[in-house]
Amino acid sequence: MKTTILGAVSALVLAAALAGCGQTATTATDTSPPAPAAETTTPAPVAAPVSAADFVTKVAISDMYEIQASQLAARRAGNAQIRSFAQTMVHDHTATSAQLRGIVRGHADLALPNALDSQHQDMLSELTNASAAEFDQKYVDQQTHAHDDAEQLLTAYAQNGDNADLRAVASETAPKVQHHLDMVRALDHSGADEPANSHN
């Protein structure tokens, strides 16, 4: 009789233990870190393009300024590398101007400006009035900003401009302007525009 009771008690204890294990197993929380959320990338916004007429005006004025400023630098810059860069700018932007004139002649609704706008005229005047000691630095600074602005304008128009002929010009010219920007940044980083290096 004692054996039977002990057996029954043992069986109940074993069943309770097993039940407890089962309950613990079903209520345990997952402590592993949650899977990272999928990354989403938002493309950089593209600047709204200007109209064909405004694009022609902006590019023509940019070229006009580049040519006049660089003709001045080819004569006045104290550093030989900057004079060489200036001569390249005169050559390349003269070619761009000629290409633009050819397209404008084929579009009665487009016209080239006759003079610089006030912003670029002020920049040119600043160069003209700069002392020999400060000329190279002013020229390099202006060229950096001017080419950065021009590259953004050309890239935006090449992507979604409203005139197919001008889009083609913008697509062809943007890499050249980016190359000019790389060149002038290299001059800036090399210190070629510093007064101590103005007669190298």
Which has the minimum average pLDDT: 39-53, 67-81, 88-102, 128-142?
39-53
> Is 52-197 a domain of CATH 1.10.3720.10?
no
Determine the average pLDDT of the residues in 111-138. Answer: 96
Mean pLDDT of all residues belonging to the chain = 82
Give the DSSP letter string of the chain.
-HHHHHHHHHHHHHHHHHHHHHHHHHH----SPPPPPPP--PPPPPPPPPPHHHHHHHHHHHHHHHHHHHHHHHHH-SSHHHHHHHHHHHHHHHHHHHHHHHHHHT-TT----SS--HHHHHHHHHHHT--HHHHHHHHHHHHHHHHHHHHHHHHHHHHH-S-HHHHHHHHHHHHHHHHHHHHHHHHHHHTTTSGGGTT-
The average pLDDT across 116-143 equals 96
Structural domain spans, the chain = 52-197
